[in-house]
Structure formats: structure tokens, C-alpha cells
Amino acid sequence: MTNDDRFADRLLADTYEQDEPVQLDYGDVQRAVLVPERLFGRAQCLARAYDLHLFPTIDIYTKTRLNRAQCETLLDEIAFVASVSNDELLREHLVRIQEVVATCMRLPQCELCIEGP
């Protein structure tokens, strides 16, 4: 068994099906994005490794609310993490996060809520 085979499950969505989700929404729960806790943490680790400012500091174990300026920063940081990652599964989730953050920013009273398990 090669190292690629031994860790291949880390790249499969099925591996994270039982994870508690991190939910991102802007008041419309129907359009909320749910990201498996471990994948959200993986993205935060990448953000931390590149010394990004906001994304790595979000505490998913408390309810975090972000205003428009913070959403703009988060959007930029997520785009950067997606651009440096070659993990397709993670990038799929990052695209979904970008969509909800961008939608939130188009609303008059922008407030993004992030909450984990």
C-alpha cells in the first residue's frame, strides 16, 4: 500500500458524512451552507499557515457574526486558500462558502453567521 492509498480517504466526501457541520448563513436557513467540521478546520489550518487574518481566528464553537467589511475580508481569504489548495473536495466546499458570503454581502443588512457543533 502506498502513502497515496493509505490517505486517499481524506479526499473522499464519504469520510466526512458523520462530521458535525459548521453552518454559514445570513438569516435564511434555507440557503445555509453546511461544511463538515474537519474540512472547515482544514481550510482554517491552510489560512493560518499563510498568515491570513480573519479566517483562522473564527471560533466555530461559538456563534460568530461578521459585518460587511469582515465578509469582504473573509471572501478574499477563502479565495486565496482555494487558489493554493489542490484538494478538490476542500475547494468544492470553499466555493460554496464563497457563494453564501458573496450573497450575504449583496444584502442591505449584511450579517453572516458562522456556527459549528
Please say whether the beta carbons of 74 and 108 come within 8 A: no
The pLDDT value recorded for residue 25 is 95
Pick the more confident residue, 16 or 78: 78
| Average pLDDT of the chain to the nearest whole number | 92
The pLDDT value recorded for residue 1 is 47
How many domains are contained in the chain?
A: 1
The pLDDT value recorded for residue 11 is 76
Q: What confidence tens digit (pLDDT) does each residue in 14-71 have?
A: 878 999 999 999 987 788 999 999 999 999 999 999 999 999 999 999 999 999 999 9
Q: For residues 60 and 57, what is the distance between their CA atoms, to the nearest angstrom?
A: 9
Domain interval for residue 100: 3-115
